[in-house]
Copies of this chain bind each other. A is one copy, B any other.
């Protein structure tokens, strides 16, 4: 089965895709509508973002399963103090009281993003807000790498998994975007639930090895991800066997041997989060399919210098549907 959305993430000769991580976190507040619009306006049509379920079962776009103190401000304008409340403990209406347009420069997290524009009046979007935006004809090139975030407290609850997948897939279908969406997660049980409920929507498997440190100031993936430490086979084989179409390894885990193996298996390889020039160059040299970055412009700049494109000729001509584009890209010929 050929999935047009998978082909939209697949590279090829002189072609590596650019995926805007949480919109374009280096430039604009993460997981914000203005960030998504910016990424798309610059030709980074492949959007990565994170979905968590509120207490009243509204899928919202935010990274952590608790409100993230370095980016959430209370109504008075101060960054969140004390224990971070869980998204699952708040209603959607309650979440709207918080602003997310600035970053706390006194936090370790804030020190990572020194170029990010600071905005007021920005709130956590619902998944539905983004879906409705990209369903508009002018955003026809947009493709969604929709990351389902598991609350570790519920990760082993099959009913919870069923409910979050039903809710999210329901919204994707209701907006007509199932052919332009990847279901993406660190939680392989959740991905199995996605495959069971929505076999027509391809799954994308995030991995991070236990030996490498987490990114500073973020929820760890390790509590909800498989523990690869005792693995007897290569991760690409495990992803393939689990039914994954994309493999999305952490930038510091990537090895030429694993990339080679993933290519042999026909997996599409998207690497996260690639921000430093040396890492961008390494990914280009490894000929991965897609680079997930907080700085999509920086990746475009480097690709352009090295003679690579990030949009297939057919797509840049702008006269074809995503399915037609997929069928005519040089990369598609490989599959």
Contact = CB atoms under 8 A, between A and B. Distances in A.
B38 A105 contact: no
B43 A41 contact: no
A42 B117 contact: yes
Number of copies of this protein chain within its complex: 2
A119 interface: yes
Interface residues of A, number: 35
Interface string A284-325: 000000000001111011111100000000001000000000
A277 B114 contact: yes
A106 B301 CA distance: 12
B116 A301 contact: yes
A118 interface: yes
A99 B103 CA distance: 36
Given A28-B297, A38-B38, A316-B120, A304 B105 contact: yes
A45 interface: no
Given A113-B301, A115-B297, A117-B300, 6 more contacts: A28-B297, A37-B41, A38-B41, A42-B119, A43-B117, A43-B118
12 contacts: A26-B115, A28-B42, A34-B41, A37-B41, A38-B41, A43-B117, A43-B119, A103-B301, A110-B305, A114-B277, A115-B301, A120-B316
